[in-house]
Amino acid sequence: MPVATALYVVTPIALFAALYSVFGYAEYEGTMLEVQKIFYFHVSSAFTAFTAFAVTCICSIAYLVKRCVKYDLVAAKSAELGLVFCTIVLTTGPIWARSSWNTWWNWEPRLTSTLILCLTYVGYFILRTSVSTEQKERFASVFGIVAFLNVPIVYYSVKIWQTGGLHPPTTTRSHLAESMKHAWLVSWLALTLIYASLLKLNIGFSWAQYRLNKLQARTYSN
């Protein structure tokens, strides 16, 4: 079975397993009850976004070294998906915050740095659409590498700025009940597989479109 086919088969199974783990297996948190279930998708989306931005960074470096257009294409498509998952983080976070902390938003280190991370990759796509074709890939690759520096800042923001913010340190997940920990890991796996499946599909479509455009350009030039 081809890797792509296996990925498309495993992904919906993993998603079903994640939904069952979250709503049918993991125990309820005593204070937040049902609202706490947002945690599994909120945190998993954040880690999936980090993965997507890491792929963008790696492919951007590869493009600068080898000047292969496909690396730039993968970097752009991965950044798109990373931006989607980052938006999910910023959407689910306030819902959780409202029930947990009685506020939709607080300008604490992790919230602020996550918003900056999201806006940085919005700037990445603004750059891609505003620079000429000849320079777009090179400038975007440099931007994609620099933008990734925000990821460790978001991850370690609570430790770097110990200001008594609402977000607990990341290590507190080790104190979750076993059923909660298992549900979170399954959710993380499911969202990562969704990212991989969508990336594979987008790359295939975009590469076909790129080759078609090149073929049309050659035809018109003749």
The answer to the question of residue 219 being in a domain is: no
The mean pLDDT value for 66-83 works out to 94
What is the pLDDT confidence band of residue 163, given thresholds at 50, 70 and 90? low
pTM for this model (two decimals): 0.88
Whether 27 is in a domain gets the answer yes
Mean pLDDT, residues 139-153 taken together = 94
CA 65 – CA 51 distance, rounded (Å): 21
Residues 120 and 147 sit within 8 Å (Cβ to Cβ): yes
Residue 218 resides in a domain? no
As a whole number of angstroms, the distance between CA 151 and CA 9 comes to 31
**What's the first-to-final CA gap in the chain, in angstroms?**
42
Average pLDDT, the chain: 85
* Residue 112 falls inside a structural domain: yes
For residue 190, give both structure tokens. Answer: 């499911």
Give the range among 44-48, 109-113, 118-122, 194-198 with minimum mean pLDDT.
109-113
What is the rounded CA–CA span in Å between residue 75 and residue 124?
Answer: 11
Residue 135 sits in which domain range? 3-211
pLDDT at 175: 66
Query: Which residue type, as a one-letter code, is found at position 87?
Result: T
Mean predicted confidence (pLDDT) in 160-176: 57
CB-based contact 92:111 (threshold 8 Å): no
pLDDT of residue 172: 46
pLDDT at 109: 81
What is the count of structural domains for the chain?
1
| Residue 50, both tokens | 């980090």
In-domain check, residue 220: no
Residue at 222 is within a domain? no
More confident residue, 101 or 10: 10
